[in-house]
Structure 1
C-alpha cells in the first residue's frame, strides 16, 4: 500500500481554548485523516529537526502562526505551504502587521472561510486564494413555544465579538415583551464580564452563562428561536453555520464575515453596534410568532434553510482536498 502524504496542521489554539481556530483545526484533521498522515501542533517545527518528512504545512492564522510559517518556508522552500486566514488576521492584521503580510507572500495557497473573504486580500494575491466554507453536523429542527422568543448569543467576551451590543439591547427591551436572551461565552475581558454581570442584575430577561462545553452550546442553539451574532470582525463564525444546520435562524451584524456566510440578500442583518436596529428585528420576530405565516421569523428560517447545504461536511471536505491536490 502506498504511503500517505503527511500534513502538519498548525493552530494557535488547541483544545483548551475551545474557540473557532481549534474547531476548524480539529475538523480538518478528521476530514484529511483518510487521505493524509495528519498531526496537529501549536507550532512548527514540533520535533528537533526541521527535516521531519512532512509533505505539507497547513497553518491557521497569518499572524499568530507567522513564526511557524517562516520556519517552514526557510527549511522547505519547495514544499507546499497553505495559510488559512481565520478572522482577525484577514480583517485587521494583514493591513498593518509585517509578519502577517510575510505569511501571505510565502504561502502557495491561501484559504478563507466565507465568500467575501477574497475581497479583503490585496488583488495580486487573490489568484492563490480559495474559499472553503466551514461545516458542521445537521441537527433536528425543534418545535418551539410561542409563549416567548428565546434568543441565544454564543461568543467569548472579547471586543471583536462586540457583546456591548447585546448588553444595550437587553436594556432597551422590557421584561414583559417575552424576549429572553441567553448569552454564552467565557470571560476573556474582565470589563466585559463585569458589564455582563451588571446587565444580568438589571435585566431579568438576560442571562450570562459563562463558558459552556461545545455540545451544550449547540443544544441551546438548537432549542432557541434565534441566534444573534453581533461581531464587529469575523472570519466566518462557526455558530452561524451551526445555527443554520439546526434550523435556527440568525440575526447578524452586517459585516463581510457574516455576509459571506448568509448571503448578500439575507433579511436578518443590522448595522454593527446598532442595538436599536437589533431590538427592532427582535420585536419583528416576536410579533411573527402570533401570525399564521410566522412573519419575519419564518422568512429568516426559510432563507437559512436555503443556505444549509453549503455547510455540509462532504462539501467542505471535497473543497479542502481539492485545494491540497493542486499542490501535490
Structure 2
C-alpha cells in the first residue's frame, strides 16, 4: 500500500534572495521533513489562486511578519494544524506590543522557539503549547590554526539587532599590533551601516568588512576562525552560533537569552550587551592563551563541544516530527 504524505506548507517571510537565518531555517526544515511530508516553501499563504487547497498543515515562521498568513489559514482551515515558529524579533520585541503577533500566538496550536530560554519570554498562558526545536547543521572537522595571531569572525547582516557598532567600537579599542584580526561578514541594510563599516576598516587595519557572502563561504570562514564574535542585542537562536559550535570554533557572545539558551547558562564566553571594552578584553585573553593547550580558547572549545549533540540534524528532525505528530 502506498503512503500518501500529508501536505505541509512552510511560510517564511524570507526566501533564498534574503540569505538570512529565516531562509536557512525554512530550507533546512523542508529538507528534514521531506521523507514524511510533501513540503513546499512560500512567502505567504495562500500561495495559489484559492485558499481552499489541499494543504494539510501550515508552519509559519515569525509571528508578526507571517501574521496575515496565520490569520488566513485559521479562518479558512480552523480544524487543520497550525504551527508558528518564533525566530527572533517577534519573540523578544513584537509579542510585547504588536497585536498581529499576539494574535498569531493565540491562533497557533503549537509554538516553536529555537533555544531553551525561549519559552520563558512567552505569556504564561501560551507556554504549554510551546516546544523547543534546536537548529542543526553538519559537523565540520576541527582545523589546525595559526598561533601567530587570533582570527575573530562576526557573521550577520549589518542591522541594529546584530549590534555591529559594538564590534566596530571593540576594533577601535584594539591596537593593530596586538595580533587580533577581525573579519566581518554581512550585507549592510542601510547606507549608514555601510559607511560605518567602511570607516572602521579605514581607521583599523586589523578589521575587514567582507560584505555579504554565500552561506557556504561564510561557513568555511567560521571553520577557519579561532573565535566567532556574536554581539547581538536580540536573537531568537542564531544560526551562526550553532554552526560555530559544530565547527569546533568557540564563541564570544553577548549575554542575551537568545545566546545563553544556545550555549548554556554556565558558558564562559559571554560579555555584557553593548560592552565593547569587555569584548576587546575577551579577545585579548584569547590571544594571550593561543599558545597553551589549556588556555581560555581551549576551555571555550570544550564547553561548545559539550553542547554539540543538541544541534545534530537527527535531533532537530525528531523534535519537528514529534511536534507535528501531536497535531495529527
Q: Distance in 2 between matches of 1:42 and 1:164?
A: 31
Question: 1:149-177 CA deviation, whole Å, 9 max, x = no partner?
Answer: 00000000000000000000000000000
Which runs of 5 or more structure 2 residues have no equivalent in the other structure? Answer: none
Map 1:47-126 to 2 at 5 A: 47-126=48-127
Match of 2:183 in 1: 182
Task: State whether structure 2 residue 305 is matched by structure 1 residue 305.
Answer: yes
How far off its partner does 1:89 sit?
0.2
Match of 1:5 in 2: 6
Match of 1:269 in 2: 270
How far off its partner does 1:294 sit?
3.8
How far off its partner does 1:146 sit?
0.1
Which runs of 5 or more structure 1 residues have no equivalent in the other structure? Answer: none
Q: Which secondary structure does the structure 1 equivalent of 2:126 belong to? A: helix
Map 1:175-254 to 2 at 5 A: 175-254=176-255
Q: Which secondary structure does the structure 1 equivalent of 2:95 belong to? A: helix
Q: After alignment, is 187-196 or 210-219 more displaced?
A: 187-196
Question: 1:23-81 CA deviation, whole Å, 9 max, x = no partner?
Answer: 00000000111001111000000111111011100000000000000000000000010
Q: Distance in 1 between matches of 2:214 and 2:238?
A: 17
Q: Which secondary structure does the structure 2 equivalent of 1:119 belong to? A: helix
How far off its partner does 1:189 sit?
2.1
Q: Which secondary structure does the structure 2 equivalent of 1:195 belong to? A: helix
Q: Distance in 1 between matches of 2:208 and 2:3?
A: 55
Task: State whether structure 2 residue 310 is matched by structure 1 residue 319.
Answer: no
How far off its partner does 1:297 sit?
0.5
How far off its partner does 1:3 sit?
1.1
Q: Give RMSD over aligned pairs.
A: 0.6
Map 1:112-191 to 2 at 5 A: 112-191=113-192
Match of 1:17 in 2: 18
Match of 1:296 in 2: 296
Q: Normalising to structure 1: TM-score of the pair? A: 0.99
Q: Which secondary structure does the structure 1 equivalent of 2:100 belong to? A: helix
